[in-house]
Amino acid sequence: MITQNIIGFELSSQSSEKIYAVDPAHQINLPGAFSPATKDEVDRAVQKAQSAWRIYRNIESKRKALFLTSIAEGIENLGDVLVKRVMQETGYTEARVLVERRRTCTQLRMFAEIVEKEVWRDITIDEALPERTPAPRPDLRKINVAIGPVIVFAASNFPLAYSTAGGDTASALAAGCPVIVKAHESHLGTNALVAEVIMNAAMNTGMPDGVFSSLNGDGIETGQQLVMHPMTAGVGFTGSLKGGRALFDLGNKRLKPIPVFAEMGSTNPVFLLPQKVAQDAQKISSQLVESITISTGQFCTKPGILVAIDNFETQHLIALLEATLAQITPAVMLNESIAHNFHKGVTAVQAESTVRLSESNSNNDLILGSALLAIVNADMFIANPRLHQEVFGPFSLMVLCKDFAQMLDVAQSLDGQLTATVQATQDELLWVHQLTDIMIEKAGRIIFNGVPTGVEVSAAMTHGGPYPASTDSRFTAVGNSAIRRWLRPVTFQNFPEGLLPEFNAILDKPNNPINP
């Protein structure tokens, strides 16, 4: 395992310090003494990325696609070594890690396909109209190009799919942007294994030195240096509101501001309409409990707020939820800080006298997360912004409304969200319509009779949403369109054909994707 920083095709460990990944289940340092990146190493990585950009953005799509698929193969070839390291560093089960590995490789192959199809270039041509009056129209040809070096911050809860070779990296590399990954302190070993794969894939497929770098971080400083570097052109981040907002602010206060796409907090409200609750309590309960507790609730799409009408059937559903949650064995959380914040969040909710907490399968081991439901009435919820905050972990807050009008009030009171969900019968569709009309202003994805967890990686996916779900609701972090965060249009006016090889290569393709 490489414990140095990977700067292009070079390994570097200038610092005399060492940092270690921790096994959260046993609270012990794992093998691997990693070198944190120095300021000079940060600078070299970005300088190399800038030089690489000039070559990489012009490499033909077929070869970029090969690079991406080689990364996927390399990750698969790591086999058990990777799977075990991920499990050690995260406390996740083998099943969970295998699902995430598959998702990561599928995502890389999807972006390989996307690159080759060239649709992302949005080629648009206005042909010259030399005879037009009062003024002729020039020949205009528009094409998307890569914005430049992109910094990717690895996410604590997705050590593979949103980290070193995750969605941000895959989409940025597909766009033609070199990537510098800032490893997450919690999974330095996972990062090292995957970063080595990417470095090898880059060498084997003839990519330029600097197309990928991986830096180990010593807290906040490395990240700040990366975002503030004058050659950095964009940033991808998945994590907390606090962390995302700090990076966003940094990116904007630069002499030359850059786009920082941060996917941050969300409480993912689930609206439970009364007839549906009456008919399907058992099914809703199992669906929700799984969605709340899967991976110990450490999903950004975990349903953190449930909204229902306060009646006999809802009380029955609450009893079912409480009983089922109590059966969930407390599981180890990703790291000490996340476990600490989870307990702090639960304690803060508990401190509100208006909130009733369900009996939990509580534990004294602070690294474990015990699944928990809290209940509050809608008046109190609307009046108390603290209860609107995300509690990251296996926790959900049931908000009880007097009637449907109050359910609409609750919807109106909510912040921006990654998702909103409505559970309803066919007889309740008019109500669904009203809720949707509110939540369309606030959420990136709206789900009917399902749960918010399970984010499909596909063309029609939106994983983002109004602030604080993301820093820019016009983009998505997941799915084909994620590539658009790293692209900008350039128009060529009256250019000789020979100087526009990219247009010609694409125009020659059968079924070329040119806009009319």
By CB under 8 A, what part of segment 381-410 binds a copy of itself?
A: none
Residue 248's φ and ψ, nearest 5 degrees, are -60, -45
Selected from 1, 138, 311, 316, the binder of a copy of itself by CB under 8 A is: 138
Q: Which amino acid is at 237?
A: F
Alpha carbon distance 12, 38 (integer Å): 10
For a copy of itself, the binding residues in 322-381 under the rule CB under 8 A are none
Is 300 known to be catalytic?
yes
For a copy of itself, the binding residues in 413-432 under the rule CB under 8 A are 416, 426, 429, 432
Q: Which amino acid is at 135?
A: A
Q: Is 466 in the site for a copy of itself (CB under 8 A)?
A: yes
Helices (H), ranges, 398-495 = 404-413, 429-439
Alpha carbon distance 79, 194 (integer Å): 11
Q: Is 159 in the site for a copy of itself (CB under 8 A)?
A: no
Output the smallest distance, CB 171 to a copy of itself, in A: 14
Only segment of 2-10, 120-128, 301-309, 368-376 that touches a copy of itself (CB under 8 A): 120-128
Out of 118, 196, 263, 390, pick the active-site residue. Answer: 263
SS3 496: coil
Output the smallest distance, CB 357 to a copy of itself, in A: 29
Beta carbon nearer to a copy of itself, 21 or 414: 414
CA nearest to 270, candidates 147, 58, 417: 417
Selected from 340, 456, 504, 509, the binder of a copy of itself by CB under 8 A is: 456
Helix (H) or strand (E) holding 448: strand 443-448
Q: Is 509 in the site for a copy of itself (CB under 8 A)?
A: no
CA nearest to 259, candidates 283, 292, 237: 237
Alpha carbon distance 159, 455 (integer Å): 16
Output the smallest distance, CB 209 to a copy of itself, in A: 19
Helices (H), ranges, 373-459 = 378-383, 404-413, 429-439
For a copy of itself, the binding residues in 29-68 under the rule CB under 8 A are 54
Selected from 149, 159, 345, 444, the binder of a copy of itself by CB under 8 A is: 444
Which residues touch 405 (CB under 8 Å, ≥6 apart)? none
Is 105 known to be catalytic?
no
Alpha carbon distance 308, 368 (integer Å): 29
> What are the distances in angstroms from CA 359 to CA 169, 319, 321, 344?
42, 11, 11, 17
Binders of a copy of itself: how many residues, by CB under 8 A?
Answer: 71
Alpha carbon distance 39, 345 (integer Å): 35
For a copy of itself, the binding residues in 212-271 under the rule CB under 8 A are 248-249, 252-253, 256-257, 259
As a whole number of Å, the CA-based R_g of the chain is 24
Output the smallest distance, CB 489 to a copy of itself, in A: 5
Beta carbon nearer to a copy of itself, 180 or 325: 180
Only segment of 60-68, 162-170, 323-331, 467-475 that touches a copy of itself (CB under 8 A): 467-475
Output the smallest distance, CB 100 to a copy of itself, in A: 13
Residue 395's φ and ψ, nearest 5 degrees, are -140, 140
Only segment of 17-25, 143-151, 176-184, 338-346 that touches a copy of itself (CB under 8 A): 143-151
Residue 122's φ and ψ, nearest 5 degrees, are 50, 45
For a copy of itself, the binding residues in 473-492 under the rule CB under 8 A are 473-474, 476, 481, 484-485, 487-492
Alpha carbon distance 260, 486 (integer Å): 10
Q: Is 276 in the site for a copy of itself (CB under 8 A)?
A: no
Output the smallest distance, CB 416 to a copy of itself, in A: 7
Only segment of 130-138, 285-293, 304-312, 397-405 that touches a copy of itself (CB under 8 A): 130-138
Output the smallest distance, CB 65 to a copy of itself, in A: 18
Q: Is 311 in the site for a copy of itself (CB under 8 A)?
A: no
Place of tokens 């990116």: 251
Beta carbon nearer to a copy of itself, 256 or 351: 256
Active-site positions? 263, 300
